[in-house]
Amino acid sequence: MKTDIIFYRLFQEFPDIFFELLGNSPESASLYQFSSVEIKQTAFRIDGVFLPTQGNENPIYFVEVQFQTDWEIYSRLIAEICLYLRQNQPLNGWVLWFYTQTGM
Protein backbone atom coordinates (compact mmCIF):
# COMPACT_ATOMS: atom_id res chain seq x y z
CA MET A 1 0.00 0.00 0.00
CA LYS A 2 1.46 3.33 -1.05
CA THR A 3 1.11 6.11 1.53
CA ASP A 4 2.77 9.40 2.26
CA ILE A 5 5.04 7.87 4.89
CA ILE A 6 5.87 11.10 6.75
CA PHE A 7 2.23 11.98 7.45
CA TYR A 8 1.25 8.37 8.01
CA ARG A 9 3.88 7.99 10.71
CA LEU A 10 3.09 11.40 12.19
CA PHE A 11 -0.64 10.68 12.54
CA GLN A 12 0.01 7.08 13.61
CA GLU A 13 2.28 8.16 16.46
CA PHE A 14 0.61 11.47 17.36
CA PRO A 15 -3.07 11.28 16.33
CA ASP A 16 -3.99 14.16 18.63
CA ILE A 17 -2.17 16.56 16.25
CA PHE A 18 -4.85 16.00 13.60
CA PHE A 19 -7.64 16.92 15.99
CA GLU A 20 -5.74 19.98 17.20
CA LEU A 21 -5.45 21.12 13.55
CA LEU A 22 -9.25 20.84 13.32
CA GLY A 23 -9.64 22.95 16.43
CA ASN A 24 -10.93 20.00 18.46
CA SER A 25 -9.72 18.70 21.77
CA PRO A 26 -6.63 16.47 21.43
CA GLU A 27 -8.47 13.94 23.59
CA SER A 28 -10.79 13.34 20.62
CA ALA A 29 -8.04 11.14 19.16
CA SER A 30 -8.83 8.46 21.75
CA LEU A 31 -12.20 7.95 20.03
CA TYR A 32 -10.57 7.01 16.70
CA GLN A 33 -8.24 4.45 15.22
CA PHE A 34 -5.94 5.71 12.44
CA SER A 35 -4.94 3.57 9.46
CA SER A 36 -4.27 3.75 5.74
CA VAL A 37 -7.11 2.15 3.79
CA GLU A 38 -6.95 0.53 0.37
CA ILE A 39 -10.13 0.94 -1.67
CA LYS A 40 -10.96 -1.61 -4.33
CA GLN A 41 -12.54 -0.13 -7.41
CA THR A 42 -15.87 -1.53 -8.55
CA ALA A 43 -17.52 -0.96 -11.90
CA PHE A 44 -19.74 2.11 -12.12
CA ARG A 45 -22.14 3.16 -14.85
CA ILE A 46 -23.50 6.70 -14.99
CA ASP A 47 -27.02 6.88 -16.51
CA GLY A 48 -25.93 9.62 -18.88
CA VAL A 49 -23.25 12.21 -19.52
CA PHE A 50 -23.68 15.23 -21.80
CA LEU A 51 -20.18 16.20 -22.91
CA PRO A 52 -19.71 19.60 -24.58
CA THR A 53 -18.40 19.46 -28.12
CA GLN A 54 -14.67 20.04 -28.55
CA GLY A 55 -13.59 23.58 -27.74
CA ASN A 56 -16.91 24.33 -26.04
CA GLU A 57 -16.58 25.68 -22.48
CA ASN A 58 -20.10 24.70 -21.38
CA PRO A 59 -20.36 22.41 -18.34
CA ILE A 60 -20.51 18.63 -18.42
CA TYR A 61 -23.93 17.32 -17.31
CA PHE A 62 -24.13 14.04 -15.38
CA VAL A 63 -27.65 12.57 -15.51
CA GLU A 64 -29.16 10.12 -13.02
CA VAL A 65 -32.78 8.98 -13.10
CA GLN A 66 -34.05 6.94 -10.16
CA PHE A 67 -37.40 5.10 -10.04
CA GLN A 68 -36.70 2.81 -7.11
CA THR A 69 -35.53 3.35 -3.56
CA ASP A 70 -31.75 3.30 -3.31
CA TRP A 71 -30.44 4.40 0.09
CA GLU A 72 -26.88 4.54 -1.27
CA ILE A 73 -27.70 6.73 -4.27
CA TYR A 74 -25.91 9.87 -3.10
CA SER A 75 -22.66 8.19 -2.06
CA ARG A 76 -22.67 6.13 -5.28
CA LEU A 77 -23.25 9.22 -7.44
CA ILE A 78 -20.43 11.13 -5.77
CA ALA A 79 -18.10 8.13 -6.22
CA GLU A 80 -19.05 7.75 -9.91
CA ILE A 81 -18.57 11.43 -10.70
CA CYS A 82 -15.30 11.72 -8.79
CA LEU A 83 -13.92 8.64 -10.53
CA TYR A 84 -14.97 10.01 -13.93
CA LEU A 85 -13.32 13.37 -13.18
CA ARG A 86 -10.14 11.68 -11.98
CA GLN A 87 -9.83 9.41 -15.00
CA ASN A 88 -10.75 12.02 -17.63
CA GLN A 89 -9.52 15.27 -16.03
CA PRO A 90 -11.87 17.53 -18.03
CA LEU A 91 -11.25 21.25 -18.12
CA ASN A 92 -14.98 22.05 -18.13
CA GLY A 93 -17.06 22.54 -15.01
CA TRP A 94 -19.78 20.01 -14.28
CA VAL A 95 -23.41 19.77 -13.09
CA LEU A 96 -25.41 16.86 -11.66
CA TRP A 97 -29.00 16.58 -12.84
CA PHE A 98 -30.94 14.16 -10.65
CA TYR A 99 -34.52 13.01 -11.02
CA THR A 100 -36.21 10.72 -8.54
CA GLN A 101 -39.71 9.29 -8.47
CA THR A 102 -39.34 7.29 -5.25
CA GLY A 103 -40.39 9.74 -2.55
CA MET A 104 -36.86 9.66 -1.12
Cα 103 to Cα 22, 46, 66, 78, 100, distances in angstroms: 37, 21, 10, 20, 7
pLDDT tops 60 at residue 38: yes
pLDDT tops 70 at residue 61: yes
Averaged pLDDT, 48-56: 84
Mapped onto helix, strand or coil, the DSSP state of residue 67 is coil
pLDDT band at 2; cut points 50, 70, 90: low
User: For the chain, what is the largest distance between any 2 Cα atoms, rounded to a whole number of angstroms?
Assistant: 53
- pLDDT number for residue 1: 44
pLDDT tops 70 at residue 51: yes
pTM above the 0.75 mark?
no
Averaged pLDDT, 74-92: 88
The continuous run of DSSP H or E covering 62 comes out as strand 60-66
Answer yes or no: are the C-beta atoms of 60 and 90 closer than 8 Å: yes
